[in-house]
Structure 1
Amino acid sequence: MAFSTFSKLSLLSLTLSLLFCSSLAREFSIVGYSPNDLTSIDKLIDLFESWMSRHGRSYESIEEKLHRFELFKDNLHHIDETNKKVTSYWLGLNEFADLSHDEFKEKYFGLKVDALPMHREKTSNEFSHRDVVDLPKTVDWRKKGAVTNVKNQGQCGSCWAFSTVASVEGINQIVTGNLTSLSEQELIDCDRPFNNGCNGGLMDYAFSFIASNGGLHMEDDYPYLMEEGTCEEKREELGVVTINGYEDVPENDEESLLKALSKQPVSVAIEASSRNFQLYSGGVFDGHCGTDLDHGVAAVGYGSSKGLDYIIVRNSWGAKWGEKGYIRMKRNTGNPEGLCGINKMASYPTKKN
C-alpha cells in the first residue's frame, strides 16, 4: 500500500514534532544512508517505503502503517544517536526497525532459565578440553566447513533448539566430514517435558534428548514450521545424526570457553534483549547488556580486530540481521560472566569417532 499525497500530509502533521524538525539540519550517521535521505518528510517516507519493500512488509490499515512509521522513525533516531557515540560497532535499519523494543523482546527469544528445572549435570572436572594449551589466535568454524547457513526461528521461542542444532551440526561435521543441516522442528515437537517448544527451553536438555532418543533427523526430512507441530516418529525409514552426550563448560570461565571453541562450535546463552542488540548491524559489539540470560545462540569462533578481542556468535534471526546473521561480541571484558553473560552457561555435544 503506497502513501497517497493526502497520507503524506497526514503523516507530516501527525509524526513530526518541533524537536525532530530542529534536528533535521544535523549530520546524520545512519549506516547505508546519506544525510540527504533524512532531510525531508518525503524522503523519510520514501526511506520507510524502501525499507518495507526490502523486508516484504505490508500493513492491514493506514492506521497501522502510521503507527509503524512512528516506531520506524523512533528507531531511526536511536540508530543515529548511537552511531554518533559508539566506535566499535554500529546499528542499522534491519527487519526489526518497525518494532518497539517491548514487542521485540516478546517475540524473538525463547531461553527459559527460570521457568524450567534447569540443572548443570556436568562438573568442571568432566570438562574434556581443560588441558588444551597453546590456543590458536583465531578460530572460525565457518571457514572450516562446520557451520550451516544461518537460519531464522521467526516468532517462535525456539532459540534453544537452533543453538543446540548448530552445535550438533558442527561436531558431526568435525567427526564425520559431512556437514548436514538438522531439524530444529523435531526438537520443538518431540523434546518434552523439560523443553517447551515455542515457549522456550534449554540446550542441555536438548542434547540429552538427542543422545537418549537415537539422534536427530535431517532438516529436509523434518522441516521447520515456525510453530509447534505433532511429533513424527521417522526413525526407521530415514537417517539420523547421533551424539553420545554433552558437557558443560565451567561457568564464568572465558578461557575454558575458548578452549572448547578451539575444538568445536559451542552452545551459549546470552542476554540479547537490549535495544542495540535488536538493531545491531556490524562491528565488535560492546554495548550495554545485563546477564539475565534470555536467548540461546551458538559460538562458532573467536578472533581480534583493531585491538578488540571477540567471540563470533551465530544467531537465529536470519541472514539480514547483523553481519549476515552473525554478531562479534567483545571478550576480555574483565567480567567473569562475559559480555551479556556469554560465559555463564556454555555447553557442547560429544561424539565419538
Structure 2
Amino acid sequence: MKKFMNTAETMVAESLDGFVRAHEEFVVFGADRKFVRRRHLIPGKVAIISGGGAGHEPMHIGFVGRGMLDAACVGHIFTSPTPDQIVGAIEEADTGAGCLLVVKNYDGDVMNFEMAAEMASSRHKIEMVIVSDDIETARTQDGRGRRGVAGTVIVERLLGAAAEKGMALPALKALAGDLSPRVRSMGVALTGVTVPHTQRSTFALGPSEIEMGVGIHGEPGHEREPFSSADAIITHLSETVFKEVAPVADKALLFVNGLGGTPPAELYLAYNTAHRFMTDHGLRIVRSLVGPYATSLDMQGLSVTLAILSEEELLLWDSPVATAALRWGC
C-alpha cells in the first residue's frame, strides 16, 4: 500500500494541521486542538456543531465557516470523536443561543454525541438531530435505521444557513425534522477502501464486479453485481432514490458525490445520467452539487442524493456560504 503519509498513527493530526494552515481565513483549532471551529464566532447565534471519523474530508471540517458549521470534531480514521472533544466544541462555540448537534446515524457517533450533550446540558441549551438519508440500511431491518451519508452535507448547509439568519434553536430542530424524510442517498463502488492502519482493503471486487449500496466507512453493500455501463448503474441509483422522495413535490436538488477515488469526468457523466432520469420522470432539478464532498478515503465510487426542497429551503441553500469546501454569494 502506498499513501502520502508518514505513519498511520500521525496521519489524521498532520492532515488537520495542514487543513487549518491552508484555510486560516475560515477556521482555527479549538482548545487543546480537540476540534476545528469557525474563526469568527457570531454572538447570539445558535452554534451548529457536527463531526465524525476522519477519512470523509471535506466533510465535516471543510464545512466550518459562514453559513454552515461553527465547529467540527474529528476522530481517528472512521472512528467517532470522543465525548470530551464534543463537549469542548460546545463550550467554545456556544455564544449564548445554544447548540444544535448534527449527527450521522452511526452507533458510535450517536452514543458519543448523546453523552457529550448530557455532560454539557447543565451549562448549555442543546438539541440534537440525526441524519439518516441512506436507502441501503433501510433494507436490513436491524433496528438501527438508515445511516447518515452524503445527505448530511445538505442538512448541514440548510441548518447552517438558517442559523446564520438568526433562527432559534427550537425552529432549527423543527426544520431538520421536516427535512429528514425528503433527503435520500444511495452509493455504489468499484473498489473497497484501503485503511491506513490495516493496510488492507475493506472488501475486494473482481474485475467485472461492483458493490451496490456501500456506506462511507468502506462497508460493503447489499449486493455484488456484474459491472455494466454507467447509464445502467446510475439509472438504478437514480430510480431507487426517486421512488423514495419524488412524490413529495416537483422541485429538487440533485447531488452526485464522489467517494474519494472517482475523477470529476466520471462524476459529471453520472450527474448527466441522473439528471436525465429525474427530468424524464417529471422532477425539476433546480439546484445541483457535484464533487467529492463526503468521501470514504480512496474508494472508487459515488453516490446519488436527491433532496426535495421548499422555496424557503432553496433560498437558504442560495444564501451566502464561505467555507473551505463550499463558497458562494460572498
If each structure's strand is expressed as a fraction of its own residues, which one has the higher value?
Answer: 2
TM-score norm. by structure 2 comes to 0.24
What is the TM-score with the length of structure 1 in the denominator?
A: 0.23
